[in-house]
Chains A and B, each alone.
Chain A
Amino acid sequence: DTGVSQDPRHKITKRGQNVTFRCDPISEHNRLYWYRQTLGQGPEFLTYFQNEAQLEKSRLLSDRFSAERPKGSFSTLEIQRTEQGDSAMYLCASSPPPGPYGYTFGSGTRLTVV
C-alpha cells in the first residue's frame, strides 16, 4: 500500500474556472476527509465520508465546493467558479472504521488561483 495519494500536486487556474482534485485513500480505510490549509494556519475541516456517505460538511464550505466518493473508494473535490481566496493547500486523509485513530494524510494539492 502506498498510502494516501492526491492528484494533482499543484494546480494553477484562472479565476472563474472550475477545478477538480482527486484523492485515493488507503484501501482498507473506510473514512475519508478533506481539509484546507492556508499559509501559516492549521488544517481546516471541509468534509468527510464514511464509505460513500458524506457524513458532515463544514458550514464554511460554500456552495461552490462539492465532494463525492461514489464507490466508497477514491474521492473528488470540485471547486466551481474559483476565487483568489480559494488558493490553499487541499489535504486529503483517511482512517480506519470509527474509533480514536489518527489520520493518514496525503501530500496535498496546492491550488493557486490567478
Chain B
Amino acid sequence: AQSVTQLDSQVPVFEEAPVELRCNYSSSVSVYLFWYVQYPNQGLQLLLKYLSGSTLVKGINGFEAEFNKSQTSFHLRKPSVHISDTAEYFCAALLGRQGGKLIFGQGTELSVKP
C-alpha cells in the first residue's frame, strides 16, 4: 500500500493565483512530514516540515502546509504563485521516529502560466 499519496500529478495555474497541492499519508508512517521542491536537473530542496506542535507550518518561498491528523493529509498551499514556482513538488514522510528513511509521494508538477 502506498504510504504517501499525492493526489494530483499535474497542476496548471496562472501567475498570482492561489494553489494547493494535495498529499495524503497512511497511518503506517510516522507523522513527521515534509515537502520538497525539485527544479529541472537538480536535487531536492526542503520547503517545510511538520514535526509536532502547530498544525500550520510555514516554509520558504511563501509556502505553507497544514497537518490534518483526522484526514491524514498534509496539503501544501501558496496564496499567490510566481512563474519561478514552476517545479516538481514532493511530499514525504519519515518512516520511523529516529531518522529512518523518507518515503516520497509520486510528485506533483506545478506549472505556472503568465
Residue positions of A touching B, CB distance < 8 A: 4, 6, 31, 33, 40-45, 48, 56, 91, 93, 95-108, 110
Using CB atoms, name the residue of chain A closest to B30: A100
The bracket for how many chain B residues form the interface is: 20 to 34
Per the bound structure, the CA–CA distance linking A108 and B42 in Å amounts to: 7
- Can you list 27 A-B contacts (CB < 8 A)? A4-B43, A6-B43, A31-B99, A33-B102, A41-B106, A42-B4, A42-B6, A42-B90, A42-B104, A43-B44, A45-B101, A45-B103, A91-B44, A96-B99, A97-B99, A98-B98, A98-B99, A99-B98, A99-B99, A101-B99, A102-B46, A103-B44, A104-B46, A105-B36, A105-B43, A108-B42, A108-B43
Question: A4-B43, A43-B90 in contact; A100/B105 too (CB < 8 A)?
Answer: no
Residue positions of B touching A, CB distance < 8 A: 4, 6, 9, 30, 32, 34, 36, 41-46, 49, 51, 90, 92, 94, 97-107
Interface residues of A: mostly helix, strand, loop or mixed?
A: loop
